Structure 1
Amino acid sequence: MKLFQQMLLAPAALGLLAPMAATASELNIDGVNRYADSQEQVTSITQFSDVQPTEWAYQALSNLVERYGCVAGYPDGTFRGKRPLSRWEAAALLNACLDRITEVTDELRRLMKEFEVELSVLKGRVDGLEAKVGELEANQFSTTTKLSGQATFIIGANTFGGDQRVFGNDTGLSPVINPRFKNLSARQNGATAFNYDLRIDLNTSFTGKDLLRTRLRAGNFGNSPFGGQTNIGTAEDPVFVGGLNATEVGFEEASGANSVGIDRLFYQFPLSSSFTATVGARVRQDDMLAVWPSVYPADTVLDIFTYAGAPGAYSLNLGSGAGLWWTSGNFSVSANYVAANGNFGNVNSGTTLSGDTDCDNAGGIGNECSAQTGTAQIAYAGDNFGIAAAYTYSSGGAGLYSGNGTPFAVSAFDSGDNTNSVGISAYWQPSNSGWLPSISTGWGLNSTNDGGDFDFVDGVVSQSWYVGLQWTDVFIKGNAAGMAVGQATFVTDTGDNDFDANDSNYAWEFWYKFQVTDNISVTPALYYLSQPLGQIQRVNTNEGYNNFGGFLKTTFKF
């Protein structure tokens, strides 16, 4: 029995069924009804002139009057709550409330009969759902962990054109002609290849607000036309430069070809409503930023367009690290530190002939062999636009991913003891699909100092930029198209050295994504690099050395 029914029936029953009361057969119900009719039915408790909100039973009386409609007042507008309850009044109150209950019950019976079929179907669905929930609970992987994955297939090829020049002495500045390079490149870097990349994420939350991320990774892009090293020498005297035509940075193996390795392992948790901390044994720089200042897809074609236009500031350094960000409304401030060699046990393994530290197989945290970056970013992110400025200090060759620059720029970063980098990036996207694309753009500036054994990089300045466009729902809802143009990191000032900078390299990419199902997409893509070797090939020649490629990418998400 419902609570309000008990409240109504208890006092009435006590009054009617007391030993001194008349028996049920002696009770004149008609008289009770006539007595009830003499009272005035009210619809709001405010109609009682003698009932104040301070009364202890005010809420109970309000419910009886306004919700259940079974309490009447006297003709003079009073309730007279402090006078004793007579048997007639108790009988009238009980009769009115029972009539109300009967009305509700009859209405419920009518509705149940009218929707009998629908209720039966609903009951069956609920029973089936309970069975499925029980089965899932009995066989679930974890109560705290969600598993998701992505497998990517890429089949394609690239080709090279123009003349080739390579380093010819210790400084790497005097080129020599390699007449055999063109055929060698066609064999080693121009073949058609079929590669894959597999990622499995285990996202764990213990409180609903924290995140423990474990990512397993495997692939075989290391020696492919799209992710490996390019030989700019000869078969007898090879000179390898990594990733000149590399597709996006995600296509890299964590522990060697066809071997599963740990690509991410970090824990992220809130310190308060405004502060979030991240710490990890294998965490990437962008994992610890409150805002990523780009909406251009990072997994399309060229690695060049993965770094928000500033590969020095947004180097995506991966290793041991920790970070903290603060948010207030649309504003955020992020700071983090990453040591790519933070898992090493020895600080250094020796010194070179010049006395400089030899960091081969050495590292640790906070020393000259750590391959470390320290990053600070301030950002504003609105509903459909955002802008960010970042500063990164790099040392030990951690300033630039080797696939994102000309060989001269990469050499400057890898050889310099420290690099100061700044980046300014922004994006805007339309509220609805249409002819207007989303626009992402960025620019980066880097200054490298103290080259150690390679003094020619001291004072070298380099820049980078890009513009990326993406259209959604192109031709068919769910499909997308995009293109980007820019320059990977290239040297613009050689510092105190006695030669001019002539290191530019332009890059383009074009792609269209067919969304076959919610979980499967197919993306054909083309790309072109105008001078992937930059200044190396242009010191004593005006002939260009270019790279054109294309592939078909199929992505499976599960």
Structure 2
Amino acid sequence: MSNLLWKSLVVSPAVLGATLLVSATAIAAPNASAEVSTTEKTVAIEVAQPEVLAQAAPANNDSKVLDQVNRYSNEGKTSNSLSQVTSVSQFSDVQPTDWAFQALQSLVERYGCIAGYPNGTYRGNRALTRYEFAAGLNACLDRVNELIATATADLVTKQDLATLQRLQEEFSAELATLRGRVDALEARTAELEANQFSTTTKLVGEAIFAVSDVFGDNSGNNNNTVFQDRVRLGLQTSFTGRDVLTTRLTASNSSAFNLTDRNNAAIGSSEATQTFNVGGNDARNNGVEIDRLTYEAPLGPVQVYLAAAGGKHSHYAAVNNPYFFDKTDGGNGALSTFSSENPIYRIGGGAGIAFNIPFGQGGSIIKPSSITVGYLASEADSPTSGEGLFNGNYSALGQLNFGIGDRVAVAATYVHSYNGAGSALFDNGEGLTLAGGTTGAGVVGTSFANNLPFSASTNSFGLSAAFRPSDKLSVSGFISYSDVTGSGVGDDKEVWSYGAGIALPDFGKRGNVLGIFGGVQPYAIGRTSVSGGNNDLPFQVEGFYKYRVSDNISITPGVIWLSSPGQNDSNDDAFIGTLRTTFTF
């Protein structure tokens, strides 16, 4: 570990900037003092480049130690790694007119101990700490000793050695402290490595506590105030540093409210579904299940997504709904599944593969674009006749992504799907159980939009866009249309949905978000069967305010208004109030 650290110090421009002091002719700064001590401080302020060492006293807590360990362990892996140069002209940010040009030239030609960044810059306009200067002095001494040992002592004058001796005495305390810090850090690193969970895997988690109730003459009377939870534990494993294997466990006791009509009969609608109601089919008992097993890795310029279980289109496709969408129904975005993302991404799910393929260089306005294609099957694990990877329920997605300028993102989406009898159109590949015991429901939309009593194929088209005029304002929206061709008499229908929202990030405090989203939940028109239903528009308006208590805790109060639930304006409006607390770790 110490060898690695001292190696980084020897080649650092911050450190090597200090070696300007070895030459009496190295300084050409205006108004430079003739005395060595003043000249030394001028160089330390004007030329130095801090990079490797911490600037404070020795850290006494684990977080600072871990931060140092991470920085040292990433030596040579980042774009800031250093490279040796043979001529000062190799630096693009150093000009012959610069006051320190002769000093740098002397270091290169006389001592051969200077380094820069791979992009050809020296970055010599930053400040230098005393610890870094002490390390640079030590590196300079090592170089002088090397020159003497190789019979090139004529390059080092007595004046140089006298100057270095005075500097070494002045910074002896810093050098001793630095050596002590390195020894202590090396010991702590060895302890961490001996007790670490895994060299390739880290644990991430999310826990949601939510108090919620629905108000309204009928739906309010038929539901109760509830206190629900959902917990996700994910293991994220990387084998190359660029890939990630995600294994996620979920436990939940939450379920969506069951909306009722004016006759107190259950509508069977998914309009009241909130994001924490999604995930965990063992709802109501906190049963644990693996709800996601995916692997993502680059293949040249192409990003590959492979799902063995729990795959979602929103895992790999750009949703373009910032501040409302949070990592597939996470606990830091919108409250409702409708406000979270375009419903077209909830058509199907399960196991399959997807590719994100970039193309084009882009001009001054149109930015580089990409094509996203994916295939997911919700019954891929079943060998039963009529199921499996290709014969069961599936959905295939194609999407064109592009940007306009630096603040507009647009995605045009097409999804073709097949759904067996008794399934739901917007089911995320797994369906949902409502509070009243209704199974096979979707996760968004009315029952008329979701219910497929017989097998059906669909062709869906969607458009999603996000516009960020400033860092304090984001505007986004979507529209989707599905043409459903059913195998039963009168099962053909058209399903529409659209919505838009405004988000104010950092509202009141950094990390807070105020969001308002409104639109029309997925609803069906064109039904010709006797059970066809009404064509009234099921409007929804949601307002929420995410308050960031700390980096790991947020509290989100919000209200959801549902008009004409079940796409029938004869039904009473419903109001859902929720107080959601999200813990992330």
Same fold (TM over 0.5): yes
Report the TM-score, using the length of structure 1 for normalisation.
0.68
- Written as runs of structure 1 = structure 2, the 5 A alignment for 1:430-449 is 430-433=469-472, 437-449=473-485
AA matched with 1:268: E
AA matched with 1:449: T
Once residues 135 and 64 of structure 1 are traced to their aligned partners in structure 2, the CA distance between those partners, rounded to angstroms, is: 40
Report the TM-score, using the length of structure 2 for normalisation.
0.65
| Match of residue 468, structure 2, among 405, 423, 429 | 429
Residue 327 (structure 1) aligned with residue 355 (structure 2): no
- Deviations for 1:374-407, whole angstroms, at most 9, x for unmatched residues? 1111111464321001111121146313131112
| Match of residue 403, structure 1, among 428, 443, 455 | 443
- Deviations for 1:248-282, whole angstroms, at most 9, x for unmatched residues? 2663314443011111101222221x222222211
- What is the aligned partner in structure 1 of residue 240 from structure 2? 207
- Deviations for 1:303-362, whole angstroms, at most 9, x for unmatched residues? 111222xx1x312533121112211353111111111122222125xxxxxxxxxxxxxx
Once residues 571 and 268 of structure 2 are traced to their aligned partners in structure 1, the CA distance between those partners, rounded to angstroms, is: 18
Once residues 533 and 194 of structure 2 are traced to their aligned partners in structure 1, the CA distance between those partners, rounded to angstroms, is: 70
Identify unmatched segments of 5+ residues in structure 2. 1-86, 88-104, 113-149, 326-332, 362-367, 428-441
Q: Post-superposition shift, 1:114?
A: 2.1
- What is the aligned partner in structure 1 of residue 375 from structure 2? 337
AA matched with 1:441: G
TM-aligned CA distance change 1:117 to 1:366, over 3 Å: same
| Match of residue 398, structure 2, among 354, 373, 376 | 376
Q: Post-superposition shift, 1:416?
A: 4.9
Q: Post-superposition shift, 1:441?
A: 0.5
Q: Kindly report the root-mean-square deviation, in angstroms, between the aligned alpha carbons of the 2 structures.
A: 3.0
Secondary structure of 1:120 counterpart: helix
Once residues 255 and 506 of structure 1 are traced to their aligned partners in structure 2, the CA distance between those partners, rounded to angstroms, is: 30
Once residues 144 and 65 of structure 1 are traced to their aligned partners in structure 2, the CA distance between those partners, rounded to angstroms, is: 41
Once residues 143 and 499 of structure 1 are traced to their aligned partners in structure 2, the CA distance between those partners, rounded to angstroms, is: 57
Structure whose alpha-carbon radius of gyration is higher: 1
Asked whether the 8 Å contact 2:562–2:575 carries over to 1, the reply is: yes
Once residues 154 and 410 of structure 1 are traced to their aligned partners in structure 2, the CA distance between those partners, rounded to angstroms, is: 26
TM-aligned CA distance change 1:192 to 1:243, over 3 Å: same
- Written as runs of structure 1 = structure 2, the 5 A alignment for 1:41-80 is 66-68=109-111
| Match of residue 364, structure 1, among 388, 392, 397 | 388
Secondary structure of 1:456 counterpart: coil
- Written as runs of structure 1 = structure 2, the 5 A alignment for 1:182-331 is 182=218, 185-189=219-223, 191-222=224-255, 227-230=256-259, 239=266, 241-248=268-275, 251-256=278-283, 257-272=285-300, 274-286=301-313, 289-298=316-325, 299-308=333-342, 311=343, 313-315=344-346, 317-328=348-359, 330-331=368-369
Residue 476 (structure 1) aligned with residue 486 (structure 2): no
Once residues 557 and 289 of structure 1 are traced to their aligned partners in structure 2, the CA distance between those partners, rounded to angstroms, is: 22
- What is the aligned partner in structure 2 of residue 112 from structure 1? 168
| Most deviating of 332-341 and 285-294 | 285-294
Q: Post-superposition shift, 1:207?
A: 1.2
Secondary structure of 1:300 counterpart: coil
Asked whether the 8 Å contact 2:350–2:379 carries over to 1, the reply is: yes
Q: Post-superposition shift, 1:530?
A: 0.6
Asked whether the 8 Å contact 1:291–1:332 carries over to 2, the reply is: no
AA matched with 2:353: A
Secondary structure of 1:241 counterpart: coil
- Paired residues, number: 412
TM-aligned CA distance change 1:119 to 1:439, over 3 Å: same
- What is the aligned partner in structure 1 of residue 459 from structure 2? 420
Q: Post-superposition shift, 1:520?
A: 0.9
- What is the aligned partner in structure 1 of residue 560 from structure 2? 527
| Match of residue 156, structure 2, among 89, 94, 100 | 100
Asked whether the 8 Å contact 1:284–1:316 carries over to 2, the reply is: no
Secondary structure of 2:166 counterpart: helix
TM-aligned CA distance change 1:366 to 1:241, over 3 Å: same
Asked whether the 8 Å contact 1:288–1:325 carries over to 2, the reply is: no
AA matched with 2:465: A
Q: Percent identity?
A: 32
Asked whether the 8 Å contact 2:395–2:415 carries over to 1, the reply is: yes
Once residues 111 and 413 of structure 2 are traced to their aligned partners in structure 1, the CA distance between those partners, rounded to angstroms, is: 65
Secondary structure of 1:513 counterpart: strand
Identify unmatched segments of 5+ residues in structure 1. 1-43, 45-61, 70-93, 162-181, 349-362
TM-aligned CA distance change 1:138 to 1:500, over 3 Å: closer
Once residues 512 and 65 of structure 1 are traced to their aligned partners in structure 2, the CA distance between those partners, rounded to angstroms, is: 58
Once residues 466 and 266 of structure 1 are traced to their aligned partners in structure 2, the CA distance between those partners, rounded to angstroms, is: 30
AA matched with 1:318: G
AA matched with 1:472: P
